[in-house]
Amino acid sequence: MSPPAQDPGRPPLSAVPDTGAAAPGADGASRADDAAELLQQVSRGDEKSFERLYDVYASRVFGLVKRVVRDPGQAEEVAQEVFLEIWRRASRFDRSKGSATSWIMTLTHARAVDRVRSAQAATDREIKVAHASTERDVDTVVEAVESNFERRAVQRCLSTLTELQRESITLAYFSGYTYREVAELLTAPLPTIKTRLRDGLIRLRDCLGVAS
């Protein structure tokens, strides 16, 4: 079953106003029954019922996702994924196990948490790779500085770097600050500091004549 085509006139989730109107289930059994019936109709491929369900729950779904994900752009993406999942999985709703609202919001929360965990895992992988790569360069450069060159040669090579590269390397590898502390001290984004450190180490290595 393919999802219904998106109505070009329908506003994005972030623009759907929260009017304060209660979703089905908030005003008693009749509203809960209405929501459950909408889900049953959606499970049969009824696009009109899906549109009604979207209109009722759009602001609530987006609001919950935004509280978990924090980023509005990502929150809108996740909310759209939630409605796509509702379209595909509506047949799994069992009113004997809970209300339609509970089913929808539980699904929403799970999808939002998945996005946060996925983003964190990707960030952790990038940091691990960058750290391992930089560590190798750092070890090579520091050994060369300590064993083969006098301070004058080091100062000369440092002077060939950009100001941000020079300050970053000095703070990180001669003053013992962490990457995050360097970023805070220089009021620069952490990814920028990591890039400048990597580029600066390469230039410093080449200037000192250290074999890579």
* 47 contacts: CB under 8 Å, gap ≥ 6: 4
> What stretch of H or E contains 177?
none
Do residues 3 and 88 make contact, with C-beta atoms less than 8 angstroms apart?
yes
- Domains of the chain, CATH where assigned: 13-119 (1.10.1740.10), 149-208 (1.10.10.10)
Q: Is 187 left (phi over 0), alpha (psi -120 to 50) or beta?
A: left
CA distance 113 to 78: 10
The residue type found at 163 is E
Whose tokens are 């590898």? That residue is: 173
pLDDT band at 212 (very low <50, low <70, confident <90, very high): very low
Q: What is the pLDDT of residue 79?
A: 92
Digit-coded pLDDT (tens) for 23-49 = 444 444 556 668 889 999 999 999 999
pTM over 0.75: no
Residue 172, pLDDT above cutoff 90? no
Do residues 101 and 24 make contact, with C-beta atoms less than 8 angstroms apart?
yes
Where does residue 172 rank: exposed (0-12), middle (13-18), buried (19+ CB within 10 A)? Answer: buried
Digit-coded pLDDT (tens) for 64-101 = 999 988 888 888 999 999 999 999 989 998 888 888 88
Whose tokens are 């004549």? That residue is: 209
Digit-coded pLDDT (tens) for 102-148 = 899 998 998 888 888 877 766 656 656 555 555 555 555 655 555 55
CA distance 105 to 61: 7
